[in-house]
Structure 1
């Protein structure tokens, strides 16, 4: 890519998309002139984004229950910014399906990259709507090779989409990083226990009931759940009253909490191909700290956690297996931890991105 200038158009917030933050950091380090058009931002990340980007257009358009009106506002506002700044003459990078569909058909005449973090088989209208944008994009990018090949088949693409794995672009890797007084107070009661962490969305399809029952009967382990409070979390707290709940912590500071954990939990049910061929940021966040993992028995986790021997994958609905696996992780802790670190360093983000950017 000769002209190192790029316009990233994103209708929500970067803090909800850690892989997008990694990409922006990569671009900044490699002297790209970054123009960022953004819906809104949470926490203090806007300060970092202002320092990384040449220009941030923060529109402060929040999601609304009236989706039609919300998308219309995004479309009108974003196109005004694109036209006023003559961004239609530059390379546009779109890191989400929603933004692509909200921008609409006018996008088809521009030079753009479609960067998709999901498979969308659970949302057929998205899948159908995105096809023409994928066929017309300069490049399509997915978050793992399984998803890239599946989308190639579904959309009959002439080539397999490129892959950028969801590795953070960060050198934070020390364990037990400093925490705020509030977080230290929350973790104080479990400081002498083995801390198991789950970070992510809290819905029944994450099937955490079994692990909660197991930990409720154990003196050795504590469960930390980091994420927005939901009805499902309330149910889990009834099963296991000792759960320590940490609400949303804006990236990258959430990694300070992760650094205090001993074991990481990853789980997705079998309700979609998007789930079973998952590409969790958390695999990278845990492996960065050398934290062994327990995943459930789906291909996306078996092919990363099991295949690299950085933990074990089991059926979380079998409580006898959960208990055995927790103790097995402790017995093999050094090996799993070392392998997790090796996995983390096996993907050279700069090298892989350099190869992709040269194609533009």
Structure 2
């Protein structure tokens, strides 16, 4: 079986995309077109530009250049839909799998392009042979709002960070000056995003019961960053560090040298309320407990496995984890041993093969 997987995600930074590639590589002969930097991956063409329309054209050209008839086209998120459906028409491929990693609802979107994207996605979901959701909550909601005959398959966002082949001691040298004995190091990978309550996190960092440092990592909206810097200045904070975007080597090393990971989302729309966070698993697989906002999907993981605490003001949950750190640390270790990423992938492969077989028998 020849499979084409299309994604607008960046392969180096997108953990879910990397795991999807591993899954479908077990299903058949996989060819991938995505964004990224490293162009040496076998049967994987990486688009290094930023123009979406060029992405569409390059993707179609790539499918023609391969010169194969694809039995299955896998579309990863909504920006893959247009090139995917064009290619499916050109080669008469009727088998499409759609990974709906987000949960954007049209009546919650204010701008025209977003609403148009929702309409395109709805049509794709209706016409796809198999639909994939990122957690059970989303799968149940999608079945209802899209009036689907069958609930989408669930592929949880289990993922971990990996060091690259060019990892060097320069990464260690970049961060070791930040580390001191006797302190608790806390990391949030949502940058300065105030919509994800990082302003609340910074405001309350001086309520932590022990000496601590807070690292804010990720792409920043300039206005949000100014707001965070204003809070830092007003509260005379010298333990908050805005680090911006890090590569995967840097991020993995920094997380592995922190004690608590912050996983924070707002609850203003369905996509955030029922978040399918891969970040929570990145923290867990680096061996550190988490503190999360009170979104039901995050609370469920914390309560089921006792790997962290939740609080929309953050500080009480952080103090709880610090107070009982050995307990939470041990539970994180148990979680990673009992919930291996490879097993998550294998179980999904079994479900996927069964569903493909069932669909084939229906024809």
C-alpha separation in 1, matches of 2:289 and 2:142: 31
From the superposition, tell whether residues 250 and 91 of structure 1 become closer, same or farther in structure 2 (CA, over 3 Å): farther
Counterpart of 1:115 (choices 99, 104, 121) is 99
C-alpha separation in 2, matches of 1:158 and 1:201: 40
The alpha carbon displacement at 1:269 in A equals 1.1
Match of 1:13 in 2: 10
The alpha carbon displacement at 1:17 in A equals 2.0
The alpha carbon displacement at 1:196 in A equals 0.5
Q: CA RMSD in A?
A: 2.7
Match of 1:226 in 2: 217
Match of 1:99 in 2: 80
The CA deviation string for residues 94-141 of structure 1, in whole angstroms up to 9 with x for no partner, is 111111145456646522210121001244432222122112212111
The alpha carbon displacement at 1:21 in A equals 1.1
Q: Secondary structure of the equivalent of 1:120?
A: coil
C-alpha separation in 2, matches of 1:284 and 1:153: 28
Aligned pair 1:355/2:350, yes or no? yes
C-alpha contact (below 8 Å) 1:164/1:352 kept by paired residues:
no
Counterpart of 2:245 (choices 232, 243, 248) is 248
Q: Which runs of 5+ in 1 are unaligned?
A: 64-69, 317-321
The CA deviation string for residues 184-236 of structure 1, in whole angstroms up to 9 with x for no partner, is 25524x55420000013542211122221222465611101111233212321
Match of 2:59 in 1: 78
The alpha carbon displacement at 1:251 in A equals 3.1
Q: Secondary structure of the equivalent of 2:219?
A: coil
From the superposition, tell whether residues 25 and 185 of structure 1 become closer, same or farther in structure 2 (CA, over 3 Å): same
Match of 1:66 in 2: none
C-alpha separation in 2, matches of 1:124 and 1:99: 16
Q: Secondary structure of the equivalent of 1:297?
A: coil
From the superposition, tell whether residues 19 and 252 of structure 1 become closer, same or farther in structure 2 (CA, over 3 Å): farther
Aligned pair 1:137/2:121, yes or no? no
Paired positions, count: 331
Moved more, 112-121 or 127-136: 127-136
TM, length-normalised to structure 2: 0.81
TM, length-normalised to structure 1: 0.82
The CA deviation string for residues 299-336 of structure 1, in whole angstroms up to 9 with x for no partner, is 121111233211111122xxxxx433322211211221
Match of 1:323 in 2: 315
From the superposition, tell whether residues 148 and 192 of structure 1 become closer, same or farther in structure 2 (CA, over 3 Å): same
The alpha carbon displacement at 1:19 in A equals 0.7
The CA deviation string for residues 144-186 of structure 1, in whole angstroms up to 9 with x for no partner, is 01111111111111101111111126688xxxx9661552255
Q: Secondary structure of the equivalent of 2:204?
A: helix
Q: Secondary structure of the equivalent of 1:82?
A: helix
The alpha carbon displacement at 1:272 in A equals 0.6
Aligned pair 1:212/2:202, yes or no? yes
C-alpha contact (below 8 Å) 2:162/2:249 kept by paired residues:
no
Aligned pair 1:62/2:55, yes or no? no
C-alpha separation in 2, matches of 1:243 and 1:116: 35
Aligned pair 1:34/2:30, yes or no? yes
Aligned pair 1:267/2:264, yes or no? yes
From the superposition, tell whether residues 281 and 151 of structure 1 become closer, same or farther in structure 2 (CA, over 3 Å): same
Q: Secondary structure of the equivalent of 1:157?
A: coil
Q: Which runs of 5+ in 2 are unaligned?
A: 357-363
